[in-house]
Amino acid sequence: MVNRQYLFRVLIACAVCLALPPVASVQADAEADNREVASYRLSDAALARYADATRRFSDVFAENPPPCAESADNSLSGMAARIDAIPGASAALSAAGMGSREYIVFGLATFQAGMGAWALTEGGGELPPGVSPENVEFYQAHETEIQALSGLLPENDCQGGEEEGDWEDDGSEYDG
């Protein structure tokens, strides 16, 4: 005889599984995003566009500090959509000759290359799997410029602390 309590538990488990987002689809999307970042090649032309866009963002964020992410969508498309939702951000990117997705991909590829450069010098001398040696070389050659750009954008403290969006009076520093 079938245990009714066991059958009820199995039915509840099936219902819960059907209500969850398809994990395989989410995982496939994340893998596609990872491949896109890993295959992106950093270049002087892209760095010039990224630098221009970042400088323009600095002005945009002085007027409209970026909000804390309300979305759990950390896909490339989700991050690009959050940038596009900031007033003035799309125009700043367009003026720099870059789209929001390329801006995100460039930034992530740069971060990945920076981590690869660190791994080569401090982390045992081996490049992590999937990290482009060409991007690491590019990062090493442009490290000073890339690090200077990171200082132009505000850090948004979405975990608490002071009032979000507080800029110092001169607009050069973001208190988060």
What is the domain count for the chain? 1
4 found inside a domain: no
| Averaged pLDDT for residues 110-131 | 88
26 found inside a domain: no
25 found inside a domain: no
Distance CA 172, CA 99 (A): 25
Distance CA 172, CA 174 (A): 7
pLDDT band per the 50, 70, 90 thresholds, residue 158: low
7 found inside a domain: no
Better-predicted residue by pLDDT, 75 or 1: 75
Q: Residue 176 above 70 pLDDT?
A: no
Distance CA 172, CA 153 (A): 9
Comparing C-alpha atoms, which of 106, 109, 101 is closest to residue 78?
Answer: 101
Residue 98 class from Cβ within 10 Å (0-12 exposed, 13-18 middle, 19+ buried)?
buried
Asked which of 1-10, 66-75, 124-133, 142-151 is least confident by mean pLDDT, the reply is 1-10
Distance CA 53, CA 91 (A): 10
Return the percentage of the chain with pLDDT > 90, whole number: 40
Domain that holds residue 89: 44-150
Max CA-CA distance within the chain? Answer: 77
Residue pLDDT, tens place only, 3-50: 444 333 433 443 343 344 444 455 778 889 999 999 999 999 999 999
160 found inside a domain: no
Comparing C-alpha atoms, which of 69, 78, 67 is closest to residue 100?
Answer: 78
8 found inside a domain: no
Q: What is the pTM of this model?
A: 0.71
18 found inside a domain: no
85 found inside a domain: yes
Residue pLDDT, tens place only, 54-83: 999 888 887 777 767 666 788 999 989 988
Give the pLDDT of residue 152.
78
Q: Does residue 154 come out as left (phi exceeding 0), alpha (psi in the -120 to 50 range) or beta?
A: beta
Give the pLDDT of residue 96.
95
| Averaged pLDDT for residues 117-138 | 88
**DSSP 3-state of 167:** strand
